[in-house]
Amino acid sequence: MSTTQTSKIEIRKAESSKISSVDFENLSFGAVFTDHLFECDYKNGQWQTPVIKPYAPILMDPSSKVFHYGQAIFEGMKAYKDENNDVWLFRPDENYKRFNNSAVRMAMPEVPEDIFLEGLNELLKIDQEWIQRGNGASMYIRPFMIATGPGVIANPSDEYKFMILLSPAKSYYGGEVKVIIAEHYSRAANGGIGAAKAAGNYAAQFYPTNLANKDGFQQVIWTDDATHTKLEEAGTMNVFFRINDTLLTAPTSERILDGITRKSLIAMAEKEGLNVEVRPVIVSELVEAAKNGSLKEIFGAGTAAVISVIKGFSYKGEYYEMTPIENSYASFLKEKLTSLQNKLSEDTYGWTVKVQ
């Protein structure tokens, strides 16, 4: 294993690559990781020297506070390779900003920009051969931070570990999905951590999602905690509804994640002249639209899936099937966004950043 030093990052190269053993045509999302990872520890009130090293398990104290009090946050990002083999990130500044917003909410230290963004840039350059070309291919990026300080007293940790993992990816969800609208369970509550990408938010979704799976549904559309009348997110995605020719989505709040794909789709839709309303969407409004035929589309939006079409929903034991339509907003916007991300069309928004 060779070791080099950039101005700020120690780099330890793997002796050999495992890339030749990977079937890039049959990837399971988030199951395969590249040869290297990025790691930086926070100790004694300051960030230590970051390192890029071979991907391997980490050794932790059993009393590390992440195991007992759940101080853990993450981000989801993607990198793309264009026809010239250049690598591009999509709105990384937004991910960086949201990551530190999550850190503040979870009483964790903010990660400096030179560690987060420069570390990611160097890691992508080292493992760039893993990034495949073509629409639908990408490198999924998972920055995360966990509390590593030992001890089981219930207070914030004084030590943390920030890491970045890379995983080559294709599409996250295959095909269309059926959802059930939550009548009892909620993703988040006012005053809680719903707007943070905290690990516990996702753990809390698993049980109600498992119940939905047993009834033949792939995901849950979450409703507000107080009244269960407001539609909020779909599974791990923001959600959009098209009623007649108006695209609706809920506003961000303490309960709803400020999705980067979500805000990008809103901007693109408005630029393309589509009528977009960011406002509370009520369950009864959706049901009535489904009954009278004005509900044209429902789709989820997120980094992993980009856009996932919802083919039908269930509420209070009644199932409402969506009628497939030509020239859907979902397919139109997905093509626009993925073409931009893959540098197949001009980026007039200034969202793509070259890795160099």
3-state secondary structure of 238: strand
At 179 the pLDDT is 97
The model's pLDDT over 261-308, given as tens digits with 9 standing for 90+, comes to 999 999 999 999 999 999 999 999 999 999 999 999 999 999 988 999
Q: Is 263 helix (H, G, I), strand (E, B) or coil?
A: helix
Stretch 152-181: mean pLDDT: 90
Q: How far apart are CA 301 and CA 292, in angstroms?
A: 25
What residues contact residue 177 under an 8 Å CB cut-off, 6+ apart? 217, 218, 219, 235, 300, 308, 309, 310, 311
> Region 327-343: what's the mean pLDDT?
95
**Which residue's structure tokens are 């629409």?**
135
pLDDT for 176 beyond 90: no
Q: In sequence order, what E strands does 182-280 have?
A: 219-223, 230-234, 237-243, 246-249, 275-278
Q: Decide if pLDDT at 174 tops 70.
A: no
7 has a pLDDT exceeding 80:
no
pLDDT at 135: 76
pTM: 0.95
How many CB atoms neighbour CB 211 within 10 A?
15
The closest of 241, 233, 232 to 296, measured between CA atoms, is 241
Where is 126: in which H helix or E strand? helix 113-126
Residue pair 49/118 in contact by the 8 Å Cβ criterion: no
Listed as own residue / partner, the contacts of 285-288 with beta carbons closer than 8 Å and 24 or more positions apart are: 285/243, 286/181, 286/231, 286/241, 286/313, 286/315, 287/315, 287/320
User: How far is residue 243's CA from residue 287's CA, in Å, rounded to a whole number?
Assistant: 11
SS3 136: coil
Q: How confident is the model at residue 1 (pLDDT cuts 50, 70, 90)?
A: low
